[in-house]
Amino acid sequence: MTAQNPNFHIYLSLGQSNMEGSAQIEAQDTVDVNDRFKVLAAVDCPDLNREKGKWYTAIPPLCRCKTGLSPADYFGRTLVEKLPDSITVGIINVAVGGCKIELFDKDNYQAYVSKAPDWLKNMVAEYDGNPYARLVEMAKIAQKDGVIKGILLHQGESNTGDTLWPKKVKTVYDNLLKDLNLEASKTPLLAGEMVHADQGGICASMNEIVATLPETIPNAHVVSSKGVPDAKDNLHFNAEGYRMLGRRYAIKLLNVLRNQANDPIVEKHAPEGFDKMRNGIPQGRIDSITYKSKTVGTERKAMIYLPPGYSKSKRYPVLYLLHGIGGDEKEWLTQGTPQVIFDNLYADGKLEPMIVVMPNGRAMKNDRAEGNIFSKDKVEAFATFEQDLLNDLIPYVEKNFKVYKDREHRAISGLSMGGGQTLNFGLGNLDTFAWVGAFSSAPNTKAPQELLPYPEKAKSLELLWISCGDADGLMPFSSRTSEYLRDHDVPHIFYVEPGGHDFKVWKNDLYMFSQMLFKPVNNDVLNKYSVLGLPASTNIRNKQYPQILPDSRVVFKTKAPEAKQVQIDLGKKYDMEIDDEGFWTVTTDSITEGFHYYSLILDGVAVADPASETFYGMGRMASGIEIPFKGDGYYSLKDVPHGDIRIKKYFSNASQSWREMYVYTPPGYEESDQAYPVLYLLHGGGEDQRGWATQGKTNLILDNLIAENKAAPMIIAMLDGNVSTGGVAGFNQNALMAFENELKQGAIPYVEQTYRVKTDASNRALAGLSMGGLQTLHAGVHNTDMFSHLGVFSSGWFANNDELSGPQYEFMQNNVAKINGNLSNFFISMGGPEDIAYKNCQVMMKKFDDMGITYQYSEYPGGHTWPVWRHDLYKFAQLLFK
C-alpha cells in the first residue's frame, strides 16, 4: 500500500490482557479470514514471518508473537462482513497484560514502569519500553495507507475501584488525537466492560466506573460484557467470549457510525454538573424589579437576570421565562437555578448575552400562590397575564434596560402552565416574539387549530421549541401541537426526554433551548434534537417501545438476557446491543411512512416482538409498526360518520368449505334502504382477508373520502385469496382459475344474497395488490362482463414466465375491443422503481400499449409496501361508480 486510501479504515486497539488476547487460538479462528481484514505488526515476529510496520492478513495473533485470541479479531471479521466490499479494515493492537492505564500516559509512564514487576517490564520491553510511543509510531505508518476511524480499549482490571480512571483514559485519548491529528467528533472510543458479574467477574465492579466514561469523553461508547463467557478464572474471557465481545465492539461501532451519520446533533442532553455552581467564573446578577400594571391595576414584581459583564453601553436581547401554576416570579430561581445554568453556559462560550425576565404569570392583585391555586379566578389570571406582559411588563423592561425592541431579539419560554402561556402568547403574537420555547405545556394550551388558524404565519419564527418528559401525563398537549405543526410544514423542535413533570426535565430544557437563542438556526436538523421518541401507535397497551423519533428513525428495545445475538428485521437487518439489564436496543435509519412488517431475530430465529401488535403477513403472524407522516390525513381517524367492518363466515359452493371475508359497509347503511355498488378487494401473498381491514385501513380511507364527497358510498368485500390448489398460492394457472371460481361461485353470490348491493357490471369493481393484482388481472380481465372497474396494485404478469403469462396476453390480444369497451377504469399502479413488481409491470404495460389496451397508470414512491397500497386504494376509490 503506497497511497492513502479513504476506503482503508484503521482502528487502534490498546489495553491489558483481555485486549492482548489470552484465549487459545482455535482452528476456526485461523481459517476464512477475509483478505480485506489486515493487521499492522507492532513487533517483529520471525516465526510468523511478520515484520514490524507492515500489513498482513489478520490471522491471529494480532498483538504480539505469542498472544492469543482477542476482541480485535472478531471486531475486524464482523466489520468486513457487514461493510461494503470496497472497504478494507486494519487493526493496530498494542496491549500489555496486567498493566494500568497509566502505562499509556506518555508523560508519566516511566514512573509507573519503574515500579512495575519484572514480568510486566519484559512485555513493555517488546515495545522498546514505551507502548504508547509504539502505538503512535505504527499509527503514523498506517495513516500513509488509510484513515484512522476509531479506537478500541479494553482495560480496567488493574484500575478496579479507581474513580479517576475516566479522566486518565481521557488523557490518553486526547494525546492520541493530538499526536495523530485526529478530530474527536470523528474518532469514537469504544471501551469494553470487564468480565461481567453474571459470570462471577472479580473486577465486575469496575464496570460501574467504565459506564461513566461517556460523561468525560462525549464520543466514548461502552461495550457490554453481559452474558459473555469467561475463562473460569473470573478475569479473562474464553475464546467464544472474545468472539462475542469482538462482534459487540463491531456492532457498537456500526451503530455509532450510522447514528452519527443520521444525527449531526452532538449534544442532546445537558451534561453532568451543568446546574452546579462553579468557582472562578464570571457570574450574572439577580435583581427584583417593580412595574406598574395598568392591566391589573397595581404594582407587580418580577425577577431579572443580568448576564456577566452586563453593560449599559450595549443592547441585549430578552428572554421572558414563565413559571408553573403553583409558582411565582421566584419559582425558577428557587427550584430551577437558571442563574447557575446561564453562568456556566457563558463560561463555556455557548450562550449569547441576554437579559432574562422572570415575571409572575398570575395577573391579579393578590398574585401569590396560596390557597386553592386551581380556583377559577387564579386560572383566569394566567390568561389575563397576556395583556399584562404585552402592555405593561415589556414596555417597562424596554424603557429601563438597554435592550433591543424588535421581535427578533425577544423570546418567551415557560414550564407547565407557563408552557401553555408560552404557546398561547408566543404563537398568538408573532409580531412580538420570534423565539418560542414551551416546556411540558399544561391543559391551558389552546387547541392547535385555535393556536394557529393560519399555520403558514408561524414559519416566520426563528425557533419554535416544544419539549416534554416521556413519563409526563401532560404529553398529549405537546404531542398534538407538534403533530399539527408537522402536518402544516411548520419548522419546530419536538424534544422528548426521559422524565416526568419536574425541574429535572425543565432545567435540561432551559439548558438546551437557551443556547440556541439569538443565533442562526439550521431548520434542516430541527427533527434531530429529540433524545427519545413517542411510542408507536402499533405498540400494545402501555409499551414504551418501539419509539418513533421526529425524523422517523425508530428505537427498538426488547429484553432477552439469555440471547447471544438479537436483530431487528425491517427488510434491512439491524444488529441490536445488550445492556447490563439484558435489554437489547438499536436505532434504525429513517423509515418510510406508513405501515411496515418487522421481526425480532433471536439467535437466528425470527419471532414477533411481544411489545407490538401482530398482523398476518409474510405467511405468519408478524409484528408491525406504523410510521406517521404529514400526508397521512387521508387514513387518519377523524370526526366524520363512520362505516362498519364486519367479519363474515360463509359456506362456499366453489370450495365446499367454510370461508371468511371482511366486509366494509358505508356510513348510513343500516338506516338506508338503498342498494350500493361493491368493490371486491384482494390482499397479497403471505396475507389474508384481514390485510386490507387492519394493515390497509380501508374503513378509514373510505370514511374520509365519502365524508369529503370524493368517493361514492360503496360496500367493500375483502376476500381471502388463498385457495388450496398445490404449488405457490396465486402464482400458477391452477390457483388463478381456482380463485376465479371461488370469486364467481362463492364470494359474489354470498355478498349479493346478504347485502343490499347492485348486481350489474357497472356497479362491480375488482382490485388487488401483488398476488391479488395477478388474481385481478386474470379473473377481472376474463370477466369484463361482470366488472367495469379493475385495479392492479404493484403487480404484473411475470416477464420471465411465458408459460403463465403467454396465455393471458393471448386472451387479451383476442379480446381488445371487448376489454376496452367493457372497462370504465383499468387502473394500474406501482410503488416506483424500488417496487419488486416494477419491471414486470413495465413489460406488461408495453405489451398493453402494443395491443391497444386502454389503462391508467399511477406511481407513488415507497416500493412494495402498505403505504403504497393504501394510497392506491385512496386514488382508485375516487374513480369508481361515477
Q: Which of 128, 233, 377, 406 is catalytic?
A: 233
For residue 153, CA distances in Å to 96, 142, 173, 222, 637 come to: 12, 18, 10, 10, 52
**Type of residue numbered 57:** T
Q: Which of 9, 13, 17, 478 is catalytic?
A: 17
User: Got the DSSP string for 448-501?
Assistant: HHHH-SSGGGGGG-SEEEEEEETT-TTHHHHHHHHHHHHHTT---EEEEES--S
Q: Which of 9, 236, 323, 782 is catalytic?
A: 236
Tell me, rounded to whole angstroms, the distance of Cα 536 from its chain centroid. 11
Helix axes 802-814, 838-851, angle to 10 degrees: 30
d(CA 880, CA 861): 23
d(CA 328, CA 150): 50
Closest by CA position to 518, among listed 401, 345, 311: 345
Helix axes 802-814, 733-742, angle to 10 degrees: 50
Collapsing DSSP to helix, strand or coil, 386 comes out as helix
d(CA 522, CA 737): 58
Query: Cell for 876?
Result: 382508485
Count of C-beta atoms within a 10 Å radius of residue 119:
10
Main-chain phi, psi angles of 527, to 5 degrees: -85, 10
d(CA 406, CA 398): 10
Strand spans (E) along 77-181: 88-95, 147-154
Active site residue 657: no
How does DSSP classify residue 861? S
Collapsing DSSP to helix, strand or coil, 657 comes out as strand
Query: Cell for 2?
Result: 503506497
How does DSSP classify residue 69? B
Active site residue 470: no
Closest by CA position to 530, among listed 578, 479, 571: 479
Tell me, rounded to whole angstroms, the distance of Cα 118 from its chain centroid. 52
CB-based burial label for 535 (10 Å; 0-12, 13-18, 19+): middle
Active site residue 551: no
d(CA 818, CA 637): 41
Hey, which residues are catalytic here? 17, 233, 236
